[in-house]
Structure 1
Amino acid sequence: MSAAKVKRVVGKYELGRTIGEGTFAKVKFARDSQTGDPVAIKILDREKVLKHKMSEQIRREIATMKRIKHPHVVRLYEVMGSKTKIYIVLEYVTGGELFDRIVHHGRMMEDEARKYFQQLINAVDYCHSRGVYHRDLKPENLLLDSGGNLKVSDFGLSAISQQQVQGDGLLHTTCGTPNYVAPEVLNDLGYDGATADVWSCGVILFVLLAGYLPFDDSNLMNLYNKISVAEFTCPPWMSFSMRKFITRILDPNPMTRITIPEILEDEWFKVDYKPPVFDDEDDTSLDDVDAVFQDAEEHHVTEKREKPTAMNAFDLINMSKGLNLGSLFDTDQLDPLEMLVCTCRLRGSLPHNA
């Protein structure tokens, strides 16, 4: 038999192949050794996090995702830390990015785009109800599971309601991806996280239906000018109701822009709408997050390397005391005594010269 590969184990998780890699993190496929369930583990280098002063941003992302337990949001199960690494244990999503779906297959028919938009709005509405604003919604941050259902990910730029601490009750950090960012985010006068997220959802819906961006320009200032006045043109294949709906979402005035409760009542949106049913209990504990970012040594995990013991066929048979070996023998050729002797030899109970 070929030599067994060395296993890397962190806590109760056995690490596998690398499935993603960025500047500060690597994502590995892993499996819960207790349940056998697949997970994705995001591994961050603690020294790099501290060097680039990213501790607060990452802590916020982890704390945010632990507050969100929704079928259309990537689930964060737990976070662990060692002396050198931070391990974020996430739901393993197998269907890739919605962005790739658009790149490879182009624009969608209205029914398909509506399904994804319904799932997106339902997830964003839930996040807002928990005081969480994503602030970087785009197709690259929308994953698909094995059933083709949407999963919102990457809360790295998210904000929670407690962060709206200035006297005007608004957020003031300019962030997000330029093509998807709301005009009020760009004017540096403060913005409401909920209405800004709605704008980004509208841009995503346009991309799904058109196959291209509503606002695009190689010159950043020209792009910002187009966004500030919502200068876009709907393609001719969009229905009238669709154009009307898009225009209400991509309203440059956040005060008159359609809200999520109004979206939920829109006739185009309501077609075949089935909100997900799920357990909404809020029993979130942030103890593991506190332990990791306070660098509590008593909670450190170690990454172990284990070389599994090589096993041959006889070892496997010996492990199964109740194994029926009858199919290994031609019972017409062996009498009961011979069968017993052969079975004992396979299990190591008799020497081979018996």
Structure 2
Amino acid sequence: MKTQFDKSRIVNVYSPNLPPFKLTLTFKTTFNDVRNQIIQGWSVIPKRVRIFNQNGHELIEQDLQFVLDGNKLYITLFGQDLDASIIFQEYEIVSEIGKGGQGTVLLARHKFIGSFVAVKITRDIEEEDSIIKRESKILKELQHRNIVKVFQTLYFSKTKECIIIMEYLDGGSLLQLIRNKGTVSEQEAKIYIKQIVEALLFCHSKTFVHRDLKLENIMLVNQGNTWVKLIDFGLAGVAGTQRETETMNVGTLPYMPPEVLNGKLKFVSPCVDVWGIGVIMYSLLYGKLPFKGRTNEEKVSNILLCNFQHELSVSEEAKDLINRIFVPKNNQRISIQEILAHKWIGGNGFTQFRRLLKKQENPYIKNSKRKNDFEIRKKSVYDEQKVRISLPLIRYRANSQETIIDISK
């Protein structure tokens, strides 16, 4: 019985400084056959062909029979290693859209399809236990409408570079939303919180805990709609993992729960994400973080004591949910499932908003015709040499001296 590998397959091939072409593979294709197609397709005589899959791993001749139809391959013709510059054969860098402890994020446009993507590049990383590689592996397992999609991951062992190509989310973060609007209505906050909770329920069902929930890590898919997605799973952990094998005190200080700050958390636990939901909900409704302080020590003290204040502008149902989240002992805190069932989340009018939400989609994934949106930025295409930026990988800790963004300013 014939399988899909016995049939002729067409794959897209990219090589530095050459246009792409389509390579034909069969069950019996050898490297010499590939070389002959290269000579015919590119009119170049290669000295030493090296073939890499779409994740950047080098293939041996026997691997060719397992390459699927429609896959992409990268080829170097003179024995050189593959590096991050290969993405410029496929994508045009439009601009830089973010920097962080885990790398640089660029807006890029596919040269042939026209769709926009976000390209996250990190250098000087180790192959084993890399935060960015772990993030990529986790996101591949988390296919959910409220979690950012990863299309491709490339790792280059020689240069210690890693590239993650993800969907581009154009609407900005919830932090930017609060800075622009001050606060949002309770009805709008419900839309965001319910989506976040549903995404986290899915994560927890797959045993993953985000551990770095914050306004910056919740992105609106497009401007003007209410569809949000979780991003940045670099600090995510596996639920139940013990302290000996997983660092517990990670996150961003204003969003960290008491059990992390006091060192009593011995296992990676979903209760950390519950606390993060509370901080996000409070910030959306009040336009400020719940636990203030002039110094990090004061902030830690207020978190440990659950010292925060409500305002009259918020409903009693919203206050009740926040109160049930901000409980010092994590075993007495409301669960993710209970949040979803809480009266505030299921209030009147939510069904209509949910129907509207289902109609919203990301035009940068399905519609590449919105080219004019970026005409101004494309006039000064991002310098490709600047992509090779090395930024240290960091884990935010309770005693971190990093400047904490105060959204109340």
State if a TM-score over 0.5 links the two structures: yes
Q: 1:67-82 alignment to 2 at 5 Å? A: 67-82=141-156
- Matched residues, percent identical? 32
- Name the counterpart of 1:61: 135
Residue 209 of structure 2 contacts residue 268 of structure 2 at CA under 8 Å; is this kept in 1? no
In structure 2, C-alpha distance between the alignment counterparts of 1:9 and 1:34, rounded to whole Å: 15
Q: What is the aligned partner in structure 2 of residue 289 from structure 1?
A: none
Shift of 1:166: 5.6
Partner Cα distance (2:155, 2:290) in 1: 43
Q: Which of 190, 200, 203 in structure 2 is aligned with 1:114?
A: 190
SS of residue matched to 2:170: coil
Matching residue within 71, 78, 88 for 2:164: 88
Alignment partner of 1:40: what SS? strand
How far apart, in 2, do the equivalents of 1:234 and 1:13 lie?
48
CA contact (8 A) 1:172 1:189 kept: no
Aligned to 2:68: none
Cross-structure match for 2:47: none
* Larger deviation, residues 222-231 vs 268-277: 268-277
Residues 150-299 of structure 1: pairs in structure 2 closer than 5 A: 150-161=228-239, 164-165=241-242, 173-190=248-265, 191-271=267-347, 272=350, 274=354
Q: Tell me: CA distance 1:96–1:166, structure 2 relative to 1, closer, same or farther (3 Å).
A: closer
Task: Report what 1:314 is aligned to.
Answer: none
CA RMSD of aligned residues (A): 2.9
Conserved in 1, the CA contact under 8 Å of 2:132 and 2:162?
no
2: distance between equivalents of 1:179 and 1:268? 24
User: Residue type matched to 1:262 in 2?
Assistant: E
Q: Give, in angstroms, the shift of residue 186 of structure 1.
A: 1.0
Tell me the residue number matched to 1:125: 201
Q: Offset at 1:262?
A: 1.1
Counterpart contact for 2:153–2:163, Cα < 8 Å: yes
CA offsets, 1:161-210, max 9 Å, x none?
A: 3x70469xx96520111111111111112255201100110011000001
Amino acid at match of 1:221: E
Counterpart of 1:142 in structure 2 is 218
1:24 positional shift:
5.3
Q: Distance in 2 between matches of 1:124 and 1:203?
A: 15
The letter of the residue matching 1:159 is: G
Q: How far apart are residue 63 of structure 1 and its match?
A: 1.1
Q: Once the two structures are superposed, what CA deviation does each residue of 1:54-73 show, in whole Å capped at 9, x if it has no partner?
A: 95222211111111111111
3-state SS in 1 of match to 2:310? coil
Aligned residue identity for 1:224: V
- Distance in 1, matches of 2:299 and 2:98, equals 31
The 3-state SS of whatever aligns with 2:332 is: coil
- Please give the alpha-carbon distance, in whole angstroms, between the structure 1 residues aligned to 2:109 and 2:154: 15
- Measured after TM superposition, the shift of residue 19 of structure 1 is 2.2
Q: TM-score, normalised by structure 1?
A: 0.69
Q: Distance in 2 between matches of 1:172 and 1:94?
A: 33
Deviations 1:86-140 (A, max 9, x none): 2110111101111011011101111011111111111111111111111110101
Q: CA deviation at 1:246?
A: 0.9
Residues 55 and 14 of structure 1: is their aligned pair in 2 closer, same or farther, counting only changes over 3 Å? farther
CA separation of 1:268/1:148 partners in 2, compared to 1, >3 Å: closer, same or farther? closer
Q: Does 1:19 align with 2:97?
A: yes
Residue 206 of structure 1 aligns to a residue whose secondary structure is: helix
Q: CA deviation at 1:34?
A: 5.0
The one-letter amino acid of 2:241's match is Q
Secondary structure class of the residue paired with 2:292 = coil
Deviation at 1:30, TM superposition (A): 1.9
Unaligned runs of 5+ in 2: 1-18, 20-84, 359-383, 386-409
Aligned to 1:340: none
Cα distance in 2, alignment partners of residues 151 and 129 from structure 1: 17
Kindly tell me: are residues 214 and 62 of structure 1, through their superposed partners in 2, closer, same or farther at Cα, counting changes over 3 Å?
same
- Output one character per residue of 1:30-59: Cα deviation in whole Å (capped at 9) or x when no partner: 2334533211111222xx224xx9952222
Q: Which entry has the higher C-alpha Rg, 1 or 2?
A: 1
Deviation, 1:151, is 1.2
SS in 1 for 2:154: strand
Aligned-partner Cα distance in 2 for 1:204–1:40: 24
Question: Which portions of structure 1, spanning 4 or more consecutive aligned residues, are displaced by more than 6 angstroms?
Answer: none
In 2 relative to 1, CA 192–252 (structure 1 residues): closer, same or farther, beyond 3 Å?
Answer: farther
RCO (CA 8 Å, sep 6+): is it higher in 1 or 2? 1
Contact 2:248 2:268 in 1 (8 A): no
Alpha-carbon distance in 2 for matches of 1:19, 1:241 = 38
TM-score between both structures, scaled by the size of structure 2: 0.60
